[in-house]
């Protein structure tokens, strides 16, 4: 994803086509809306297993522990974590694969939790910010964020910490440009990007030296 400099934070829509106007158009388009609603449901391909729409039992492996719950197949991994399991570290902001606040790891790869159905995360290792370090300890990336005051409201921070941890896993010696690029899928409305980049550089150094950094 494209990286953004501090000065490149999206400033919002510039055209005269406002979000409110768009919603108004949508609500006023009765014929179009009705037409869409009347579309028949797409049939599943022959031989495909169909689950739902009712809740079904699923098992997720979260931070090394199996968790069994009953969920409708439409529930995202993010909603499962936050609303059904009580792991609220991953945040729900855009719910549209845009902000990165919901970042978690799936089999060691950074993903947006709002774009994965919980049912599809079965059989995979899910890691959340809660599982990054032992209770009472700080992962070097979290500690570096603390050291560099790399948060204001903190709402984006768990997502950035997870994205940075994934970045350092793939690239233990990132340049500042690598960090800009690697964290380009995460947004901070408070504009703490400079502190975040410094934190990631410090965490890289700490992790390469193999010493803990508990702040
Ligand atoms: S809440 Fe998932 S990317 Fe914004
Ligand atoms: S610290 Fe507030 S959104 Fe990033």
Read off the pTM.
Answer: 0.79
Which of 81, 95, 162 should be mutated for ligand 1, with most atoms under 8 A from CB?
95
Phi/psi of residue 65, nearest 5 degrees: -125, 140
Q: What is residue 48's predicted lDDT score, i.e. its pLDDT?
A: 76
Q: Is the pLDDT confidence value at 123 over 90?
A: yes
pLDDT tens-digit series, residues 172-197:
999 999 999 999 999 999 999 999 99
The pLDDT assigned to 210 comes to 84
Q: What is the per-residue pLDDT across 69-110, written as a single tens digit (0 to 9) for each?
A: 999 999 999 999 999 999 999 999 999 999 999 999 999 999
* Pocket, ligand 1, Cβ cutoff 6 A: 92-95, 97-102, 112, 114
Q: Please, are residues 53 and 71 in contact by the beta-carbon 8 Å criterion?
A: no
* Mean confidence (pLDDT) of the chain: 84
**What's the rounded Cα separation, in Å, for the pair 4 and 14?**
18
Atom of ligand 2 nearest to the CA of 191: 4
Question: Among 1, 104, 111, 112, which is best to mutate for testing ligand 1, by the most ligand atoms less than 8 A from CB?
Answer: 112
For the chain, domain boundaries: 54-128, 132-210
> 20-52, pLDDT tens digit by residue?
333 333 333 333 333 334 445 556 677 777 887
Please give the pLDDT value at position 213. Answer: 54
**Which superfamily does 132-210 belong to?**
[2Fe-2S]-binding domain (1.10.150.120)
| Cβ–ligand 2 contact at 188 (below 6 Å) | yes
Classify domain 54-128 at the CATH topology level.
Answer: Ubiquitin-like (UB roll) (3.10.20)
Which of 8-17, 75-84, 100-109, 131-140 has the lowest average pLDDT?
A: 8-17
Encoded tokens for 190? 């408070």
Q: What is the per-residue pLDDT for 47?
A: 74
Residue 155 has pLDDT above 80, yes or no: yes
What is the per-residue pLDDT across 52-63, written as a single tens digit (0 to 9) for each?
A: 799 999 999 999
DSSP string, 38-107: TSPPPPPPTT-----SS-EEEEEEETTEEEEEEE-TT-BHHHIIIIII---SS--SSSSSSS-TTEEEET
């Amino acid at each position: 994803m494209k990286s953004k400099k501090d000065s490149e934070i999206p400033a919002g829509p510039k055209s005269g086509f406002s979000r409110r106007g768009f919603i108004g158009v949508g609500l006023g388009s009765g014929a179009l809306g009705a037409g869409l609603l009347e579309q028949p449901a797409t049939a599943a391909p022959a031989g495909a297993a169909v689950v739902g729409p009712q809740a079904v039992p699923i098992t997720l492996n979260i931070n090394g522990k199996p968790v069994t719950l009953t969920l409708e197949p439409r529930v995202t991994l993010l909603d499962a974590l936050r609303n059904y399991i009580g792991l609220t570290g991953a945040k729900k902001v855009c719910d549209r694969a845009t902000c990165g606040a919901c970042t978690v790891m799936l089999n060691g790869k950074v993903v947006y939790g709002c774009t994965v159905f919980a049912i599809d995360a079965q059989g995979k290792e899910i890691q959340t910010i809660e599982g990054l370090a032992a209770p009472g300890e700080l992962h070097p990336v979290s500690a570096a964020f603390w050291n560099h005051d790399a948060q204001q409201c903190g709402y984006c921070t768990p997502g950035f910490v997870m994205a940075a941890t994934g970045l350092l896993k793939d690239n233990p010696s990132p340049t500042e440009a690598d960090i800009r690029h690697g964290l380009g899928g995460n947004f901070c409305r408070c504009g703490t990007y400079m502190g975040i980049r410094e934190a990631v550089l410090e965490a890289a150094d700490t992790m390469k030296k193999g010493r803990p950094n508990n702040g």
